[in-house]
Copies of this chain bind each other. A is one copy, B any other.
């Protein structure tokens, strides 16, 4: 399966060359992420796409992750800070439009997801939304590898600063994980040729009878 080869090929790139990711490749990666599964299908996160060098510099200032500045593009996965009735209503509207189904026929579904999601705290829904974003992150890593584009997923970034610089708060979003995209600088990246470390499959997966 080509997927397995792609997964073996990729690694969390440390040093990037100056080569830029082409727009058409970036579009495919973003489309793949948008097609990722999410619980209930509601996609409670958004993807900020950044290629402005000055902005990347501001975001990466003081960070030990030089990839923020050096990579061609930076994707910021930002989860909904809260889930409100309007989000559910919009999702129902989207289903209705896409499938040509009258909104009335979706009332039971709408009530069921409303009573579930709106009963949870914002903090719980934010964690839930974050998990959905991570499904998208998994997709993004695979899409990039498939195009032989290098990538670095990063959790250790200053989320508060990102939220502020990207104006996320007023969009009801909070940054949760970021993904640098570009091309490895094989000479400078000491990680580029290291063997991938993974659990023996019998330890990772446990057959239960």
Residues of A at the B interface (CB closer than 8 Å) are 1-4, 7-8, 10, 12, 28, 30-37, 39, 41, 43, 46-50, 52, 55, 91, 94-95, 98-99, 127-128, 130-132, 134-139, 141-143, 146-147, 153, 155, 166, 177, 194-199, 201, 203-209
Q: Which of B34, B135, B177 contacts A205 (CB 8 A)?
A: B34
Q: Across the interface, which residues of B come within 8 angstroms of A30, CB to CB?
A: 201, 204-205
A48 CA / B204 CA spacing, docked (Å): 9
> Contact: A37 with B134, CB < 8 Å?
no
> Contact: A209 with B36, CB < 8 Å?
no
> Contact: B146 with A138, CB < 8 Å?
no
A77 CA / B204 CA spacing, docked (Å): 10
> Contact: A197 with B142, CB < 8 Å?
no
A198 CA / B205 CA spacing, docked (Å): 32
Q: Across the interface, which residues of B come within 8 angstroms of A208, CB to CB?
A: 48-50, 52, 55, 166
State the Cβ distance, A144 to closest chain B Cβ, in Å: 10
Given that A47-B204, A99-B195, A209-B55 are contacting pairs, would A4 and B35 also be in contact in the complex, using a CB cutoff of 8 Å? yes
> Contact: B32 with A1, CB < 8 Å?
yes
> Contact: A134 with B143, CB < 8 Å?
no
